[in-house]
Amino acid sequence: METIQTTELLLHKNIAIVGGGPGGLTLARLLQQKGVQVKVYERDFSQAARVQGAIVDLHFDSGLKAMEATGLMEAFKANYMPDADKYRILDPKGNILLDEGNQAGKPDFGNPQFRPEIDRGALRDLLIDGLLPGTVVWDSQFVSMEEVDNKWEMQFKNGTTAAADIVIGSDGYRSLIRPYLTDVKAVYSGATIIQGEIDQPETACPDFYQLVNQANLMAMGNGATLAAQPRGDGGLTFYAASMYPENWEKDSGIDFNNTEEVQHYLIDHYENWNPVFFSLFKACQHFVPRPLNYFPLENRWETKANITLIGDAAHLMPPNGEGVNLAMLDALDLSSCLTNTCFTSLDDAIAAYEKIMFERAAPLCKETIEGISDFAAPTEESIQDLIKMLS
């Protein structure tokens, strides 16, 4: 990796990034390019410990912009999934309302409209491959930390400890770094999704698998949404979304560890839908309820010179296609501020980053919350608006 000498602000400083998702790994790569000493502490036991989930699309002015800055764009192009960026929208009867994959004049790299998809695991692997050996410290589930002699002393669940001058929380919506900056808690959006994973959909639910056709599928109507995405390993991830009261997953009486019970609930909930969707529910053997929460961004924390947050740890919001992209753009902006010779103190550099981050995330979060019912309980009007936007 070609590096340049780091700025005075980070000279002899050790940076700890807690969380090895796309945002944290992008930040580590960008900082190492500037000669910064950085470690990434990841709770996973190893790089191959678990499937990373569905595919993710990178956007021209955020995820792809950050990827370009890492110098790993060629690796990205070698690993992305061509033609997986299409959308297919269905009604509850299974009729196709939009089949974006059949449209002419598809954009490509360099076009602002192009949003290439990549398997989350492949994205993580290429970012890890771009780091110096030993940068990621596996099996390091963060427990707590305290300031000792102007350093953070961190403790991990496996009994190990580590010291850092600056700690950056990239540990997602359940961030354990966030409480060291703010006590603002997440708020319920009004919507909940039931997530399912199917490892071999081609044989487990072949009719639905053919309906997906390697697209981002959304079936919408009757006050509910069913979304499905292919995984890079051939599996499928799906989300059954509706508007529910707060704490519904606890108050519903449904045992989400009982597969048949959840299957029966979903079949009843989507009772007027095409039976092809029921085959999806019957093929799934593991369900997870996920209330869609968000952090109110009007409540901002006081900047500190030795700790900050990126990604969902900083600005959790319901799914809107921007999560990974925002985390990677946060990484780009934070690395730029920390290594910018215009700043004379770490406090100023981090404050400048946080201003950019908050001002970018707040309107997106507001827009997402205001439109949450259009996603989880769509009307005919909102479905037609979505089709127009994607056409």
Q: Are the C-beta atoms of residues 282 and 263 closer than 8 Å to each other?
A: yes
Question: CA-based angle 39:42:47, to the nearest 5?
Answer: 105
Q: Are the C-beta atoms of residues 162 and 144 closer than 8 Å to each other?
A: no
Distance between CA atoms of residues 41 and 45, nearest Å: 11
- CA–CA distances in Å: residue 4 to residues 27, 31, 33, 340, 351: 16, 10, 7, 13, 24
Q: Are the C-beta atoms of residues 167 and 152 closer than 8 Å to each other?
A: yes
Q: In a 10 Å sphere around its CB, with 0-12 CB exposed, 13-18 middle and 19+ buried, how is residue 239 labelled? A: buried
The residue behind tokens 């299974």 is: 94
Distance between CA atoms of residues 140 and 157, nearest Å: 7
| β-strands 287-294, 187-198 pairing | antiparallel
Residue 87 has a CB neighbour count (10 Å cut-off) of: 17
Counts of helices then strands in the chain (DSSP H, E) = 14, 17
Structure tokens, 112 = 């602002």
Structure tokens, 98 = 């939009």
Distance between CA atoms of residues 236 and 204, nearest Å: 11
57 annotated ligand-binding residue: yes
125 annotated ligand-binding residue: no
Structure tokens, 195 = 């997530």
Question: CA-based angle 253:258:264, to the nearest 5?
Answer: 75
State the sign of the Cα–Cα–Cα–Cα dihedral 49, 55, 60, 62: negative
333 annotated ligand-binding residue: no
Residue ranges at the known binding site for FAD = 57, 120, 312
Residue ranges at the known binding site for NADPH = 50
